[in-house]
Amino acid sequence: MVNERIICAGFGGQGVMSMGQLLAYAGMIEGKNVSWLPSYGPEMRGGTANCNVTVSDTPIGSPIIDHNATAAIVMNLPSLIKFEKELEKDGILLINSSLIEKKAERDDVKAYYVPANEIAVEIGNGKVANMVMLGAYIELTKVVKVETVIEALKKVFGPSKAHLIPLNEKALERGAEEVRG
Amino acid sequence: MAKILMKGNEAIGAAAIKAGCKFFFGYPITPQNELPEYMARELGKAGGTFLQAESEVAAINMVYGAAGSGARVMTSSSSPGIALKQEGISYIAGAELPCVIVNIVRGGPGLGGIQPAQSDYYQSTRGGGNGDYKLVVYAPANLQEAVDLVMEAFDVADYYRNPVMVLGDGMIGQMMEPIEFREPKKRELPPKDWATTGTEGKRKPNIINSLRLDPAELEKLNQKIQAKYREIEKNEVRYEMYNIENAEIVFAAYGTTSRIVKNAIEMLKQEGINAGLIRPITLWPFPHKAFDEIPETAKAILTVEMSCGQMIDDVKIANNGRLPVGFYGRSGGMIPSPQEIVNKAKEMLGGAK
């Protein structure tokens, strides 16, 4: 049974909000209950952003993640420091090792280190680092199918940006490879 | 129709347009800005008019005017902006005009903050403006309910010729959930033969007014609208009873807070404590009778709010002295955690045993 509570966090421009939205969108397409809750408030340019996403087979009570995250995807150092403690025991901690040198402090969570920016640049566009991380997360949890994320992407992008689909697909796949056992 | 994923503020705007809203007047304020932004983009395409007023006071008086001409009209704001609109809301209630007002509540008092709160309960249910008037107040707990209630709000406003408020909070406004647009249950809506649409010399002019200098006439209006409110109390009460059977403790919570309480109920269940929830969906008319349905097993009621304790007054009135009524609340934009609620519930039960 699926009941995933994910925190996506990073600095503005890293695509953490859209990563979370895509996940929620894909969950909805697969008929699951989903919610997406952004942090909002005054924030300086380059400041941190995060969203809480729930994907569940059962109706969602509170959409707020409160020390019970099943996963955290952290794209920059401040996010790691802030959200590592939000994970429940055995939670998944996906760390963007391109920008974060620090290691996970807790030993009761499963930490994975993905050089998302390097992979994204390698496949042709640094902006898809978020999709690399999402690919890794989906590989680890199978919360939704990768094909459904692509389907969601097509809907979000529309025909004018359809040419970006293969790049995103590639990013998801490379992220998955990175954590495949 | 397939479900779509939308942000609360935008979903409310889309629902209003689906319900035939033709005019929107507002003034920006966080955390509801996506709603006027959506209306600015979409209302024109639907044959309506969006106008950003020079102030909240201007916006609500534009609503007064459009409502007087019989149009479906909406405004939205957040707490201090709604405070500014109170004079106009009282006029609209006094002139017996239909309109829909959305309040995406933020922490107060004063300009306060921009994070979610429920500290406008009094303002919404006790009449933030002057005089003996009431708004029908809907408090959705999720986006599907928000969409359904906004669509119905226009019908209810027209049916009773009374302003209707939809009360959300920053979380309802900002979050995304899947929604679908569903027709509300059909109501026989009376023709708007009172609207000021131009006489063309064929009928006596209709007059929209909230000034009545003759006390006897003004009392007659008060009696008329009070009779209407009794009708609304009879017909429009909405609430959810959740896990109430055999409950040892019953929570009372609405909107966002009710969702957090549901998590707390799950946590209590794992500790062998059976807890239930009364969730008012209409804050006015308040679901008094729900509290008569609390089973004998219950030892206490715990009201949980994102305020310093406002709805608790209505809970106490409805409870009528039967059970001890406790309170747990956070304010200023802080959100209570399920664990805090669990702790308070256990404290109350410990004391009641």
Which CATH number goes with the domain that contains A17?
3.40.920.10
Question: What is residue A156's predicted lDDT score, i.e. its pLDDT?
Answer: 86
Question: What is residue A45's predicted lDDT score, i.e. its pLDDT?
Answer: 75
Task: Starting at the earlier edge strand, list the strands of the sheet with A110-114.
Answer: A110-114, A87-96, A69-74, A3-11, A48-56, A33-38, B176-179, B4-7
Give the position of tokens 């695509």.
A15
Q: Does A31 touch chain B (CB under 8 A)?
A: no
CA–CA separation, B77 and B103 (whole Å): 5
Question: What residues contact A163, with CB distance under 8 A and at least 6 apart?
Answer: none
Residues B35 and B18 occupy one common structural domain = yes
Which of B185, B219, B235 delimits the end of a domain? B235
Q: How many separate domains does chain B show? A: 2
CA–CA separation, B14 and B7 (whole Å): 10
CA–CA separation, B319 and B328 (whole Å): 17
Residues B182 and B91 occupy one common structural domain = yes
CA–CA separation, A20 and A139 (whole Å): 16
The CB density around residue A58, as the number of other CB atoms within 10 Å, is: 10
Give the position of tokens 């009372």.
B252
Q: pTM here?
A: 0.96
Residues B76 and B157 occupy one common structural domain = yes
Q: Does B180 touch chain A (CB under 8 A)?
A: no
CATH of the domain at B339: 3.40.50.920
Whether residue B339 and residue A24 make contact (CB cut-off 8 A), yes or no, is no
Looking at the partner chain, which of B114, B174, B177 has a beta carbon nearest the beta carbon of A38?
A: B174
Burial of B79-88, coded b for 16+ CB within 10 Å and e otherwise, reads bbbbbbbbeb
Alpha-carbon gap: A36 to the closest alpha carbon of chain B (Å) = 5
Residues B121 and B212 occupy one common structural domain = yes
Q: How many separate domains does chain A show? A: 1
What does the pLDDT look like over A24-59, one tens digit per residue? 999 999 999 999 999 988 777 778 899 999 999 999
DSSP states of chain A as a string? Answer: --EEEEEEEEETTS-HHHHHHHHHHHHHHTT-EEEEEE--S---TT-EEEEEEEEESS--S-----S-EEEEEE-SHHHHHHHGGGEEEEEEEEEETTT--PPPS-SSSEEEEE-HHHHHHHTT-GGGHHHHHHHHHHHHH-SS-HHHHHHHHHHHH-GGGGGGHHHHHHHHHHHHHHH--
For B324, the token pair is 């001890």
Q: Rounded to 10 degrees, what is the CA torsion of A73, B4, B138, B250?
A: -50
User: pLDDT tens string for chain B (353 positions)?
Assistant: 689 999 999 999 999 999 999 999 999 999 999 999 999 999 999 999 999 999 999 999 999 999 999 999 999 999 999 999 999 999 999 999 999 999 999 999 999 999 999 999 999 999 899 999 999 999 999 999 999 999 999 999 999 999 999 999 999 999 999 999 999 999 999 999 999 999 999 999 999 999 999 999 999 999 999 999 999 999 999 999 999 999 999 999 999 999 999 999 999 999 999 999 999 999 999 999 999 999 999 999 999 999 999 999 999 999 999 999 999 999 999 999 999 999 999 999 995 44
Residue B126 lies in domain: 4-199+208-235
Mean of the per-residue pLDDT values for chain A?
95
Residues B18 and B60 occupy one common structural domain = yes
Q: Does B40 touch chain A (CB under 8 A)?
A: no
| Planar angle of CA B213, B214, B215, nearest 5 degrees | 105
Picking from A61, A58, A87, the residue whose alpha carbon sits closest to that of residue A72 is A87
Question: What is residue A158's predicted lDDT score, i.e. its pLDDT?
Answer: 87
CA–CA separation, B147 and B74 (whole Å): 14
Residues B116 and B231 occupy one common structural domain = yes
Whether residue B175 and residue A36 make contact (CB cut-off 8 A), yes or no, is yes
Residue A127 lies in domain: 3-179
| Alpha-carbon distances, residue B170 vs A24, A39, B173 (angstroms) | 20, 10, 5
Residues B112 and B223 occupy one common structural domain = yes
Question: What is residue A181's predicted lDDT score, i.e. its pLDDT?
Answer: 76
CA–CA separation, A70 and A94 (whole Å): 11
Residues B229 and B263 occupy one common structural domain = no
Residues in B touching A64 (Cβ below 8 Å) = 171, 260, 335
Residues in A touching B31 (Cβ below 8 Å) = 40
Question: What is residue B353's predicted lDDT score, i.e. its pLDDT?
Answer: 47
